[in-house]
Amino acid sequence: MDNKNIKESIELIDAHLKNEGISRRDAMKLFGVGGAAAMLAGGTTTPLRASSAKAKIVIVGGGLAGMSTAARFTNSLDNPDITVIEPCDQAVSYQPGQTLVAAGVYTDSDINYKTADFVPTGVTMVNEKAVDFDPDNNTVTTASGKKIGYDYLVIAAGLKLAFNQIEGLGITESITSRGDSSAVKKVIGQNGICSIYFGDGAVDTWTNMQKFVEDAKSKKVTGIFTDPHTPIKCGGAPKKIMYLTDARLREAGARDNADLTFYPNGGAMFGVPEYHNAIQRQFETRNFKWNYRHNLVAVDPAKKVATFNKFWDEKGAWDEDLEEYTAVKKSEKVEVPFDFLHITPPMVAAEEIGKSAVGSDKGWVPVNQETLQHVKYKNVFALGDIAAVPMGKTGGSARKQYKVVVENVIAMMEGKPLTSKYDGYTVCPLITSLGTVMLAEFNWTAKPTPSFPLDPTQERWIWWLLKVYVLKPMTQMGMLSGKA
């Protein structure tokens, strides 16, 4: 079937399903495991080959990226010797589902998995935190003082949520998406202050969203949504939760009473112009407001006021040498009252990694963006949120990256050149309502790279089915098995 026929067929299915609806069972039948795997991959799966090469491989991080890498190694080596260091017993939980928990589509139990259930046969688990890295001597030391040697090190430790960088919240430490969030939960989840970026926070967001919607039935209310000054995982999520809040308000007949405003630190909705333009049109259609170049710096939970640093450039003096005007940076503090505040926190690398020899000034692990090999230590690789690549802090990116890492490590073990390359593929299923998703796919070119011959800037019901019913089981059955 050629691209034209595929496009026409999918558009007909999309239109029909949008009108008729579909059950979860029928959605699974429609896509099937193989079709979902291809969509998740942004292409076909890579065939595995067995290698007799031998080496001790240590993986720091047992979340989606790390455990998928471990599984891929066990599938690709005749005699694997793999150790995974991971302190959280829920590290493999399905983080992309937290947005849907926050909107009442999923429950936390739908996405909360036990790491132990996904450890590949033969892999040694060390349920501790890695606190010291000595790449010159090929060792990692855990919190208990256990020193673990390696021939190859893969860092897939994710990132941390730095709510402690926001004044007024009274939070003193950063946290991970899963694990102990008790200190943060005392503030985030109360007084209309929410965040979908950690498990408990997603649950509390749904509670606060329901109250916000109920209040909007009888009075004017204000909802604000932030996007910080650091790189973040799933760059579409701050907008997704805004779209879903809008959808719940409309469902309740209360949208006219709600003022919804997006406050991003950057100057665009999306780094890819085509998706930026599409999102801006969607915002206009839904009567959203937005204010670029606003970074959240403080929150007063009692008064329910958020403070932003608003910044801009003004024209300065004329530079005769450059023959242009200089730019003068300006900023001011802006206070915004709220009834509902969704915080996308600043995100950072774990201090133990960022300040170590394998880290960098910005914390992220510096790697070649294509081979994912450390720029200094050739037997060290990194992938997922912790890797210092221009884009790619999504599960869909990790799904491409882990195969590149495995193939390149095995190539080194066999004395061969590193030929596997990561092309920057990133996918963001941007939820735009309760029933539509814009499937934003792109790579290093910063241009849309759709897997199917459809306009990728269009919101579609069929991508909602993919997001809600298929990607989660495909992550479990595909990525965490190391096969998809």
Strand partners, 373: 381
| Cβ count near 255 (within 10 Å) | 18
| Cβ count near 449 (within 10 Å) | 20
Catalytic annotation, residues:
234, 428
Q: How many whole angstroms separate alpha carbon 197 and alpha carbon 185?
A: 12
Show Cβ contacts of residue 19 under 8 Å, excluding neighbours closer than 6 positions.
none
Output DSSP code: residue 46.
Answer: P
β 305-319/324-337 pair status: antiparallel
Sheet with 221-227, edge to edge strand ranges:
193-194, 340-342, 221-227, 258-264, 289-290
β 56-60/81-85 pair status: parallel
Specify whether the CB–CB gap between 181 and 200 falls below 8 A.
Answer: yes
Identify the residue whose tokens are 């009692």.
302
Sheet with 139-142, edge to edge strand ranges:
130-134, 139-142, 147-149
Burial (CB count within 10 angstroms: exposed 0-12, middle 13-18, buried 19+), residue 327: exposed
Distance set, CA 179 to CA 126, 138, 173 (Å): 16, 28, 13
User: Which amino acid is located at 113 in the chain?
Assistant: Y
Query: Which of 336, 337, 235 has its CA nearest to residue 279?
Result: 235
Q: How many whole angstroms separate alpha carbon 368 and alpha carbon 280?
A: 33
Q: How many whole angstroms separate alpha carbon 231 and alpha carbon 91?
A: 21
In the chain, what is the greatest distance between 2 CA atoms, to the nearest angstrom?
70
Specify whether the CB–CB gap between 247 and 432 falls below 8 A.
Answer: no
Q: How many whole angstroms separate alpha carbon 366 and alpha carbon 335?
A: 37
Q: How many whole angstroms separate alpha carbon 80 and alpha carbon 267?
A: 47
Output DSSP code: residue 379.
Answer: T
Q: How many whole angstroms separate alpha carbon 377 and alpha carbon 375?
A: 6
